[in-house]
Amino acid sequence: MNIIVCIKQVPNTSEVKINPETKTLIRDGVESIINPDDKNALEAALELKDKTGAYVTVLSMGPMQAKDALLEALAMGADKAYLISDRKFGGSDTWATATILAAAIEKIGKFDLIICGRQAIDGDTAQVGPEIAEFLDIPQVTYAKKLELDGGKIRVKRFCEAKDYEFEVGLPALVTAIKELNTVRYPCVKGIFKVYNNEEDMIEVLTFDDIVVDASQIGIKGSPTNVH
Ligand code: FAD
């Protein structure tokens, strides 16, 4: 089983500042962390790995410093990481981000399950996971608080507006995780050693030239969102 987890590196603060000229987030000088919901997404994948031997790939689009988030995910137990990074991707809104991530997933190849966090603590839109599912034309279940594998299907308990909903979905599919899904593990010493000795092999950088994506759909020009 191949599982892809999308993780976003975010500023460790809820007081996000916006550059008044570019209308994008100011990230300089703020400590960066893995977006909290994305750690629940990763934990869910690692629990499936513990049970079934699944292969877990983590994916992040961002500047080169997002490598730190990938290193942490690998130290927690992921098998392979891809950093999707190119100046042409800068300024991408959720539409363009999901376009790029979906193209990167198609480049990486076969997958059974994609797990995203519900929502990033900086952008906060909760749009990227559902958009990736739409672009890849696969079913999605958002706000998962329970996730079980049952043969070629998954059973997902979705928590939304104070109610639980149960879904059974064929694979491949995309799920977005909420914090109630699990308790996130810490990286272990063995994992940290493995990653720092094999960083070059375990993290691959994909640029614009590596993926098949329509240039008019990415970056500032390909972003239909306007920030006022
Ligand atoms: P959500 O939709 O809330 O995230 C849901 C889940 O999707 C996450 O939990 C995670 O699993 C996954 N996910 C989201 N983003 C990523 C990612 N990058 N990599 C892997 N998984 C991910 N942001 C920048 O970083 N640089 C920019 O230059 C930039 N320019 C922007 C320009 C405009 C006009 C606008 C409107 C936004 C811009 N942003 C930029 C913000 C960017 O659009 C969002 O941060 C990004 O699309 C994700 O949206 P979100 O934060 O709301 O994530």
User: Is beta strand 140-150 parallel, antiparallel or unpaired with respect to 173-177?
Assistant: parallel
The residue among 83, 33, 38 whose CA lies nearest residue 63 is: 83
pLDDT of residue 21 exceeding 90: no
How far is ligand 1, taken at its centre, from the CA of residue 64, in Å? 15
Lowest-confidence region among 26-30, 41-45, 75-79, 213-217? 26-30
Residue 196 has a pLDDT of: 87
Q: Within a 13 Å sphere around the CA of 40, how many CA atoms are in the beta-carbon half? A: 21
Does residue 123's CB lie within 6 angstroms of at least one atom of ligand 1? Answer: yes
Contact 68, 208 (CB under 8 A): no
Residue in 14, 24, 223 to alter for ligand 1 test, most ligand atoms within 8 A of Cβ: 24
| Confidence band of 15 (pLDDT split at 50, 70, 90) | low
Atom 22 (ligand 1) nearest CA: 8
- pTM of the shown model: 0.94
Contact 108, 57 (CB under 8 A): yes
The residue among 81, 114, 89, 107 whose CA lies nearest residue 203 is: 81
Q: What is the mean pLDDT of the chain?
A: 94
Does residue 116's CB lie within 6 angstroms of at least one atom of ligand 1? Answer: yes
How far is ligand 1, taken at its centre, from the CA of residue 193, in Å? 30
Q: Would you call 221 helix, strand, or coil by DSSP?
A: coil
* CA-to-CA dists, residue 94 to 34, 102, 190, angstroms: 18, 12, 36
Does residue 94's CB lie within 6 angstroms of at least one atom of ligand 1? Answer: yes
CA distance 134 to 197: 38
Contact 84, 65 (CB under 8 A): no
Residue 144 token pair: 């998962």
Q: What are the pLDDT digits (tens) for 150-178?
A: 989 999 999 999 999 999 999 999 999 99
Residue in 3, 7, 8, 220 to alter for ligand 1 test, most ligand atoms within 8 A of Cβ: 8
Does residue 122's CB lie within 6 angstroms of at least one atom of ligand 1? Answer: yes
Question: Which atom of ligand 1 sits closest to the CA of residue 115?
Answer: 11
pLDDT of residue 143 exceeding 90: yes
CA distance 161 to 124: 17
How far is ligand 1, taken at its centre, from the CA of residue 106, in Å? 19
The residue among 77, 71, 79 whose CA lies nearest residue 196 is: 71
Q: What are the pLDDT digits (tens) for 62-100?
A: 999 999 999 999 999 999 999 999 999 999 999 999 999
